[in-house]
């Protein structure tokens, strides 16, 4: 299938970021803390700079919203959303559950997503209306439609655990077949290729899940926030499912406002 110039650029940007990430993963890197007490390294900053350089050269009129290098022209018709190392804590502790997230938004709608996990050996991508792919092969969600047959994966849950929502989640946990905690990019990859059926996650931002939202949807799944709203710049939590039936069943148990 012919790839659009946007997807070609996303792959090139991911390749450039991967070279930086692999270098620092092998060589080691000092860690600093950002204002929100989350870690950042030279690998984060330089890989985002590599991505930004490629995108700005090819699409100088596009906006850019980066985890490390900030925002530029985010009211533009096209805006790129970038998290160069989603999972910096994994990166600095030297285990492979981190990824590069590259997404493109057109007039407020997510239309492209690429998720590259270089040390894990998985690159997934999708464009609106073109299907989802992993390592060059088309992927799709599972046909599971009953909660009692479904596998649920949870990610960050701290804000849920600190709220009355915790008991609602407990009801869902009791209803599904099995529960795992794959987290970060990985449970969205698993959902998109039919290995699990539901994902619940809080304490995220749009840069963490923008690309993954496109991939899950193009694989046939459903992804909203916990209130059922479409992901946008203010998204902070996720309910993803293999299909609308499972999504609706989970929403009936988790009747939360966004």
pLDDT of residue 246: 98
Whether residues 180 and 111 share a domain: the answer is no
Whether residues 122 and 177 share a domain: the answer is no
d(CA 121, CA 134): 10
The region that residue 70 occupies, defined by phi over 0 for left and psi between -120 and 50 for alpha, beta otherwise, is left
Distances (CA, A) of 61 to 5, 72, 78, 79, 224: 14, 10, 8, 9, 29
pLDDT of residue 218: 98
Retrieve residue 166's tokens. 């915790």
In this prediction, residues 21-26 reach a mean pLDDT of: 88
What is the tally of structural domains in the chain? 2
pLDDT of residue 129: 96
How many other CB atoms sit within 10 Å of the CB of residue 57? 10
136 in any annotated domain: no
Lowest mean pLDDT among 80-94, 172-186, 194-208: 80-94
Query: pLDDT, tens digit, for every residue of 105-128?
Result: 999 999 999 999 999 899 999 999
pLDDT of residue 58: 98
Whether residues 54 and 161 share a domain: the answer is no
- The residue among 34 and 95 whose pLDDT is bigger is 95
137 in any annotated domain: no
135 in any annotated domain: no
Tell whether the model's pLDDT for residue 39 goes beyond 80.
no
pLDDT of residue 93: 83
d(CA 147, CA 247): 10
CATH code for position 230: 3.40.190.80
Whether residues 100 and 37 share a domain: the answer is yes
pTM of the model: 0.94
d(CA 247, CA 213): 14
- Are 187 and 209 a contacting pair, CB within 8 Å? no
Tell whether the model's pLDDT for residue 53 goes beyond 90.
yes
140 in any annotated domain: no
Query: pLDDT, tens digit, for every residue of 225-254?
Result: 999 999 999 999 999 999 999 999 999 999
- Are 233 and 182 a contacting pair, CB within 8 Å? no
Domain that holds residue 188: 147-253
**What percent of the chain shows pLDDT beyond 90?**
77
138 in any annotated domain: no
Domain boundary among 62, 95, 130: 130
Whether residues 9 and 126 share a domain: the answer is yes
In this prediction, residues 197-223 reach a mean pLDDT of: 97
Whether residues 54 and 155 share a domain: the answer is no
CATH code for position 40: 3.30.540.10
Reduced to 3 states, what is the DSSP secondary structure of residue 238? strand
Domain boundary among 130, 155, 180: 130
Name residues whose C-beta falls within 8 Å of residue 185's C-beta, 6 or more positions apart in sequence.
86, 87, 97, 98, 99, 101, 115, 117, 212
Instruction: Give residue 24's pLDDT band: very low, low, confident or very high (50, 70, 90).
Output: confident
């Amino acid at each position: 299938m012919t790839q659009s110039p946007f997807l070609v650029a996303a792959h090139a940007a991911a390749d450039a970021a991967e070279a930086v990430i692999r270098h620092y993963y092998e060589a080691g890197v000092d860690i600093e803390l950002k204002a929100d007490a989350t870690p950042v390294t030279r690998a984060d900053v330089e890989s985002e700079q590599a991505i930004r350089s490629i995108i700005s050269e090819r699409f100088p009129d596009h906006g850019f919203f980066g985890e490390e290098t900030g925002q530029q022209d985010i009211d533009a018709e096209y805006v790129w959303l970038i998290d160069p190392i989603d999972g910096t804590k994994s990166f600095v502790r030297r285990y492979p559950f981190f990824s590069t997230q590259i997404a493109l938004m057109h007039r407020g709608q997510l239309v492209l997503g690429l998720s590259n996990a270089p040390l894990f050996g998985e690159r997934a991508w999708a464009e609106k209306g073109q299907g989802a792919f992993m390592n060059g092969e088309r992927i799709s969600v599972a046909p599971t439609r009953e909660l009692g047959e479904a596998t649920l994966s949870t990610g960050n849950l701290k804000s849920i655990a600190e709220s009355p929502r915790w008991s609602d989640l407990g009801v869902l946990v009791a209803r599904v077949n099995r529960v795992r905690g794959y987290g970060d990019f990985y449970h969205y990859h698993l959902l998109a290729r039919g290995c699990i059926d539901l994902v619940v996650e809080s304490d995220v931002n749009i840069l963490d899940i923008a690309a993954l939202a496109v991939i899950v949807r193009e694989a046939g799944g459903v992804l909203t926030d916990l209130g059922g709203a479409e992901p946008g710049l203010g998204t902070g939590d996720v309910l993803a499912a293999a299909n609308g039936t499972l999504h609706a069943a989970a929403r009936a148990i988790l009747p939360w406002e966004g």
